[in-house]
Amino acid sequence: MTILDKIIADKKIEVALRKQLFPFKYWEASPVFERTTNSLAKELRASKSGIIAEHKRRSPSKQNINSSLSVIDVAKGYEDAGVCGMSVLTDGKYFGGSLEDLNVARAVTNFPLLRKDFIINEYQLIEAKAHGADVILLIASVLTREEIKKLSTFAQSLGLEVLLEVHNREELEKSIMPSLDIFGVNNRNLKTFEVDLNTSRTLVEKIPTDFVKISESGISDSAAILDLKTYGFEGFLVGENFMKTNNPGASAAAFIKEIEDEA
Please identify every residue annotated as catalytic.
54, 56, 116, 165, 186, 216-217
d(CA 183, CA 165): 6
Q: DSSP letters along the chain, please?
A: --HHHHHHHHHHHHHHHHHHHS-HHHHHTSTTTTSPPP-HHHHHHH-SS-EEEEE-SEETTTEES--SS-HHHHHHHHHHHT-SEEEEE--STTT---HHHHHHHHHH--S-EEEES---SHHHHHHHHHTT-SEEEEEGGGS-HHHHHHHHHHHHHTT-EEEEEESSHHHHHHH--TT--EEEEE-B-TTT--B-THHHHHHGGGS-TTSEEEEESS--SHHHHHHHHTTT--EEEE-HHHHTSS-HHHHHHHHHHHHHHH-
Report in angstroms the alpha-carbon separations of 249 from 33, 45, 135, 259.
28, 22, 21, 15
Phi and psi based region of residue 187 (left: phi greater than 0; alpha: psi -120 to 50; beta: remaining): alpha
**CB-based burial label for 31 (10 Å; 0-12, 13-18, 19+):** exposed
